[in-house]
Chains A and B, each alone.
Chain A
Amino acid sequence: MAESEAEVPKAKPRPIVRLGIFLISHSCLFSVICCTAGVLTLLLLPVLAKNTYISENALMPGSANPMFSSQEVSEANRLVKSLTSLDSKPVGSGIESQRLIAEYMSDLGAEISYHKFYPRSNQFHPLHFFSYPDSGSTRENVSCISHGLNTVGIIRAPRGDGKEAIVLVTPYNSLKVGPGEALSLGIAYSVFSLLTQVTWLAKDIIWLVADSRYGEYAAVNAWLRDYHMPVFSGLSALKAEICPVSNVHNELKENSVTERKINDGFRRAGTMATALVIKVTDGSEHFEDSLSIYAEASNGQMPNLDLINIVNYLAVHRQGLRVKVEKMRSLINCKWLKILGEILQSLGHVAKSLNPQWKFGIPAKDYVEGAATLASSLYYQALGVPTGPHGAFRDYEIDAITMEISSRVALNNKARKNDFLLRGGRLIEGVIRTVNNLLEKFHQSFFLYLLTSPSKFVSVGVYMIAFALLVASLPVVAASLYADAHKVDPSFGIDKSTPQASATDELSITPRSCKWLNAAKKVFLVHLWGAVVSFLPYFICQIPSCTPTTSFVVWVLLSSFSLPILSLILGSSFSYGRPSQPQKRDWTLLKSVTISAAFIGLCLMSVINFATAEIGALLMVPMCLMAQPLKLDIRSRKLRKFLRVACNLALGFLGFPPAGFFVLKGAFEGFGGITVGDFWSWLESIWSWSSATYLYIDEMGFSVDVTERDDIRVQSG
């Protein structure tokens, strides 16, 4: 692009080249317009959201009458009662509750097995990003004393071939069964008992009673891992060697009256079509019974939109529940958002008065709600940490959501409680019946979307526009800087002492187009450093007994040492302090290369995890565009330049991950009591989920920031 401009001034270039030249020469204006448009489109997303619709025809939600009746409700009550009575007994309730549930299950005629697992601390391993969900190779830090026990019941479908299954998950704490957990077990049990009798079932039903003593996610994840990666005899012997086989199974069997049905082995039921995690909370709602849907899995993956659609459809239109998705509460009372919403509303009115067919205005209140939901959707996807046990399923390509049903009042009243159980049970029965109709996996609807309300979504095609507009300025600016760097070259030759040099240069072979190599080397070095910094915590983790603060300090020290070592090895120096014209050209090239690298990184991340890329772009694009050498600015002593310097420093500060974290945290929770250790724990929580966000934050954040700082420092030093 750059050279084409230089070489063909006489002949009229092709229109596309002219367009390119036009864009490059007006890159400043173009980038400002693009950035503004990108931010505006992001703010417009709640308006552009479409209503959800059920895309897969085979689903046919709600086409059959529910069979769930008061008889099942009484079954549920029976289980809840015996669970709560068990809870009042102090001794041995850990195994007792599992035994009780297994007994109830086997009374229904289901196949039962216990799944013993050892909680595993989530370990960050730098190389696991490149491989699949981890195989059983990392079993070293297993503590033998503590183990959990999942109870699994399977109903074989009368019309199925045992190749597909639907999973119900009820996490509960086996040591202390709370009232909500008891109710969720009750609902699941009642649905399970209904499903043993029905004739329409075509997929097996697995009911996983997950022992959430060591966290809900860990239990579900352990079961899924063993489900998908069968342990062969050699390995199980190894396991037995590590941990002496406790006689839980025998103990359970001795106690159990119905041992004939309980299996020692691991029971399977084919591939899983869907998983539903059922939870019950009580008494917190003011208006009506409601259903909260949690869907974000690791790395911002979402289940197929159809799954959310059918749950939403059945809950709203059949059971009359209010469906909620997570919102950012702090944004709802936001002044400027309200004002923006009203502006948009009035704009919509104006548009409607001009042409009644234009319907893009939405009420201001809806807009604010949508924006808050969108923000939380973005936040949770960007964080890359699953919002519940459903996250474990997505790693095995299974669509799963968590349904949290909460009632209006505390469930002391028996009639209320029965009504609540009836509605919850009917909802789950409906969902299972709908999913049962599926002929293939969920594939018809979207996987890449953002929710603005339970019944509205922004699809990938729409939200990518916002991102593309925001990012589009980067390549243009990079190209214009690159062109500048080459334009500066000959004029410099003429300006200063050696006019002949430029004349001979034209004849001789100057590696004109290879000047960027030096800058590329520098950027590569900084990115390499970023990678090293992001892998360092893995080694720091190995140091036993470290408080977060000390490990953070160690990390900072090691990171700052590694940069000079790296630059020493690769033989590129950061200290060149003669400010002259070629310096300026070098700097322009460096900025151009940095911007290109940032562009590639952002585009890559937008494919992996859109939300992270969007938030990163919001921070990084202005930073990349505004970075300027400090010294030149300070020298000129103008107000505008000083403003720019201030902006630069502020952005550079914010873009530096730890600083950005503290500022955000301070803004939301107040500045009191933040320690450096917090950042460490936060990072630890992210990388324990092997979140790509972590790598990204470190790699990109550090690198770009450091490159920018380097730019600035080089010039000031």
Chain B
Amino acid sequence: MEPKEQSKEKKEKLWFWNWVIASVIFRLVLIYFPKNLNLASRPEVSTPLTSLRRLAEGYWLKQLSMSPYAGSMYHGSPLLLSLLGPLTVKRIEGQPDHLLCSLVFVIADIVNAMLIRATGQNLQMEYTRSLKLLDHVKLSEKPGKIIPSGDIAALVYLWNPFTIVACVGLSTSPIENLAIILSLYGACKRQAPLAAFGWVIATHLSLYPAILIIPMILLLGYGTDTPPRKLFLQRRNVEVGDNPPNDRCCEREEVVHRSEVPHVFSWRPVIHFFCWTSLWSVYVLVLCGISVKQYGGLWELFKRTYGFMLTVQDLSPNIGVLWYFFAEVFDFFRNFFLIVFHGNILFMMLPLAIRLKHRPCFLAFVYIAISSMLKSYPSVGDSALYLGLLGLFVNELADMQFSFFLFCGYVGVSLLSPVMHNLWIWRGTGNANFYFATAMAYACLQIILVVESVSAMLNHDRKLRKPLTELQDGKN
């Protein structure tokens, strides 16, 4: 029996790796047709922040000992510039331009997938453990029922057309995603230095991941996703009531031991995290300061990068909704609406954190989805990240509503968006409203996805509580 199972497991593993290798080959094939696909110039793929062409321009300016931020071309981090910049100018004869950069992005994608897989395995272990604690024997006994969510999530991330397009289309979003996933992974493994490093780099690169600090703290404090704490308490009550009084004390000790683990907030890793965060941020700031010393210092850097993100200066079309709005709005209302739109993200943080504090990873997913919907220059690379993370919760979200509708919507919108852009820009028969309509549809889809996934998660928690309450009712 056992060798058979082992071989089956082996087969499954082989199957996973086959698909990973196939995805890499697929990417490499696509990299060889950059001219025909012309992905790098699509507004859906490369935004002013993530476009590699802008980065190359910034590097060129820097080589001419001018400020890389001159001329409002480049708005990214100076560290990324010194890392990727040298690769943009290296040309290999007979090969497509930016081949080395593309290879870097492919590697980043694979590392992302592996980290997602490791996170998923961690989450799944915790999930089975907590199910056992809650005595959902039926669930934990049938291992076939629980899908290996890590593998699924990694494959979803690798084979998602959005990820592929962002990787092949020469945008730096795979690197940004790498930083975010690294921080999540570190927090799941409770490695404070790694988590702090990921978080600092992610915030430095694209600013919006700063809100992930709440799930980070929760992850480090409570550990990974578990059913709500109340359930464990309830379970303990049931068990305590069940047992005859004579062997109560030892049993209780065990129960206390078992159920104490998931819901005690441990301050040590959090304090570690903060120490490391301050260390890493000082380090990053010093590095940045050195590299922009001649060009106006750190203040100029902040103004050109974070200021550019927060004040939405570039109104060229993208798949977000802000460009259209700020192209239309009167100038004297501009500041007000900037505050409103960015406040929108912040308003949603606290209620969600309270409601989902027992599932910090899922909370991180929701935050990423919300910020990729409301950020100033969204691209499909951001969607790729949260869709990949969605795969981590495939067991919990199996009963999600509208999954088919959402799938069709995503397919439809992602096909419609280039068509509308073509109609507007190249044929001249449409106008900006055509393209903006697809952006609105896309935003609506994302809202539905967030709402439905959160409600499915809460329903799942309720479902876990149901047998417990029945047990309690039966006893009473």
A510 closest partner in B (C-beta): B398
CB pair B411–A608 under 8 Å, yes or no, is: no
CB pair A127–B467 under 8 Å, yes or no, is: no
Stretch among A28-36, A501-509, A546-554 lining the B interface: A501-509
CB pair A512–B399 under 8 Å, yes or no, is: yes
Docked Cα-Cα span, A49 to B416, in Å, equals: 29
For the complex formed, measure the closest distance between the CB of A664 and the CB atoms of chain B, giving whole angstroms.
Answer: 28
Q: Does A520 contact B (CB under 8 A)?
A: yes
Stretch among B33-41, B173-181, B213-221, B362-370 lining the A interface: B33-41
User: Contact check: which of A127, A507, A513, A603 meets B400 at CB < 8 Å?
Assistant: A513
Q: Does B84 contact A (CB under 8 A)?
A: no
Q: Does A576 contact B (CB under 8 A)?
A: no
A128 closest partner in B (C-beta): B36
User: Contact check: which of B401, B403, B429, B467 meets A448 at CB < 8 Å?
Assistant: B429
A133 closest partner in B (C-beta): B426
B405: A residues at CB distance < 8 A: 1
Q: Does B299 contact A (CB under 8 A)?
A: no
CB pair A514–B403 under 8 Å, yes or no, is: yes
B404: A residues at CB distance < 8 A: 482, 513, 516, 592-593, 596
Q: Does A670 contact B (CB under 8 A)?
A: no
Docked Cα-Cα span, A550 to B434, in Å, equals: 44
Mark out the residues of chain A between 436 and 464 whose CB falls within 8 Å of any chain B CB in the assembled complex.
Answer: 441, 447-448
User: Contact check: which of B138, B398, B415, B434 meets A514 at CB < 8 Å?
Assistant: B398
Q: Does B4 contact A (CB under 8 A)?
A: no
B37 closest partner in A (C-beta): A130
Docked Cα-Cα span, A620 to B122, in Å, equals: 48
A399 closest partner in B (C-beta): B428
Docked Cα-Cα span, A600 to B467, in Å, equals: 42
Docked Cα-Cα span, A268 to B169, in Å, equals: 35
Report how many residues on chain A are interfacial, defined by Cβ distance under 8 Å: 34
Docked Cα-Cα span, A510 to B419, in Å, equals: 38
CB pair B416–A509 under 8 Å, yes or no, is: no
CB pair B399–A509 under 8 Å, yes or no, is: yes
User: Contact check: which of A397, A507, A513, A600 meets B403 at CB < 8 Å?
Assistant: A513
Docked Cα-Cα span, A130 to B37, in Å, equals: 6
For the complex formed, measure the closest distance between the CB of A55 and the CB atoms of chain B, giving whole angstroms.
Answer: 15
For the complex formed, measure the closest distance between the CB of A463 and the CB atoms of chain B, giving whole angstroms.
Answer: 15
For the complex formed, measure the closest distance between the CB of A135 and the CB atoms of chain B, giving whole angstroms.
Answer: 9
CB pair A301–B427 under 8 Å, yes or no, is: yes
Mark out the residues of chain A between 584 and 606 whose CB falls within 8 Å of any chain B CB in the assembled complex.
Answer: 592-593, 596, 600, 603-604
A127: B residues at CB distance < 8 A: 33, 36-37
A131 closest partner in B (C-beta): B38
Mark out the residues of chain A between 560 and 615 whose CB falls within 8 Å of any chain B CB in the assembled complex.
Answer: 592-593, 596, 600, 603-604, 607-608
Among B403, B420, B423, the one with the most A-chain Cβ atoms within 10 Å of its Cβ is B403
CB pair A604–B419 under 8 Å, yes or no, is: yes
Interface of A is mostly: helix
Q: Does A236 contact B (CB under 8 A)?
A: no
Docked Cα-Cα span, A3 to B411, in Å, equals: 21
Docked Cα-Cα span, A511 to B399, in Å, equals: 6
Q: Does A258 contact B (CB under 8 A)?
A: no
Q: Does A4 contact B (CB under 8 A)?
A: yes
Q: Does B230 contact A (CB under 8 A)?
A: no
A512: B residues at CB distance < 8 A: 398-399
Q: Does A132 contact B (CB under 8 A)?
A: yes
Q: Does B96 contact A (CB under 8 A)?
A: no
A592 closest partner in B (C-beta): B404
B395: A residues at CB distance < 8 A: 509
Contact with A along B386-422 (1 / 0, CB 8 A): 0000000011001111111101100110011001100
Docked Cα-Cα span, A1 to B146, in Å, equals: 27
For the complex formed, measure the closest distance between the CB of A603 and the CB atoms of chain B, giving whole angstroms.
Answer: 7
Given A4-B401, A608-B419, verify A130-B138 contact (CB < 8 Å). Answer: no
Given A301-B427, A448-B429, A509-B145, verify A604-B416 contact (CB < 8 Å). Answer: yes
B407: A residues at CB distance < 8 A: 516, 520
Contact with B along A164-198 (1 / 0, CB 8 A): 00000000000000000000000000000000000
Docked Cα-Cα span, A600 to B147, in Å, equals: 31
Docked Cα-Cα span, A50 to B24, in Å, equals: 56
A443 closest partner in B (C-beta): B428
A519 closest partner in B (C-beta): B404
B415: A residues at CB distance < 8 A: 600, 604
Q: Does B475 contact A (CB under 8 A)?
A: no
For the complex formed, measure the closest distance between the CB of B474 and the CB atoms of chain A, giving whole angstroms.
Answer: 16
User: Contact check: which of A132, A137, A592, A604 meets B412 at CB < 8 Å?
Assistant: A604
Docked Cα-Cα span, A604 to B411, in Å, equals: 11
Docked Cα-Cα span, A128 to B146, in Å, equals: 45
A397: B residues at CB distance < 8 A: 426-428
A603: B residues at CB distance < 8 A: 412, 416
Q: Does B142 contact A (CB under 8 A)?
A: yes
Q: Does B315 contact A (CB under 8 A)?
A: no
B275: A residues at CB distance < 8 A: none
CB pair B33–A508 under 8 Å, yes or no, is: no
A447: B residues at CB distance < 8 A: 428-429
Among A1, A593, A607, the one with the most B-chain Cβ atoms within 10 Å of its Cβ is A607
A3: B residues at CB distance < 8 A: 399, 401-402
Given A3-B401, A604-B416, verify A507-B429 contact (CB < 8 Å). Answer: no
Contact with B along A603-634 (1 / 0, CB 8 A): 11001100000000000000000000000000
Given A301-B427, A397-B427, A509-B145, verify A1-B402 contact (CB < 8 Å). Answer: yes
User: Contact check: which of B147, B398, B412, B427 meets A513 at CB < 8 Å?
Assistant: B398
A593: B residues at CB distance < 8 A: 404
A132: B residues at CB distance < 8 A: 426
Among A441, A447, A509, A603, the one with the most B-chain Cβ atoms within 10 Å of its Cβ is A509
B399: A residues at CB distance < 8 A: 3, 509-510, 512-513
Mark out the residues of chain A between 468 and 521 whose CB falls within 8 Å of any chain B CB in the assembled complex.
Answer: 482, 504, 507-514, 516, 520
Docked Cα-Cα span, A509 to B394, in Å, equals: 10
Docked Cα-Cα span, A128 to B145, in Å, equals: 46
Q: A482-B404, A508-B145, A513-B398 are in contact. List 17 more A-B contacts (CB 8 A).
A: A1-B405, A3-B399, A131-B38, A301-B429, A448-B429, A507-B138, A509-B399, A511-B147, A513-B404, A514-B403, A516-B403, A520-B407, A592-B404, A604-B412, A604-B419, A607-B419, A608-B419
19 example contacts (A-B, Cβ-Cβ < 8 A) are as follows A3-B399, A127-B33, A130-B37, A132-B426, A301-B429, A441-B428, A447-B428, A508-B138, A509-B139, A509-B145, A510-B398, A511-B147, A513-B398, A514-B398, A516-B403, A600-B408, A603-B412, A607-B419, A607-B423
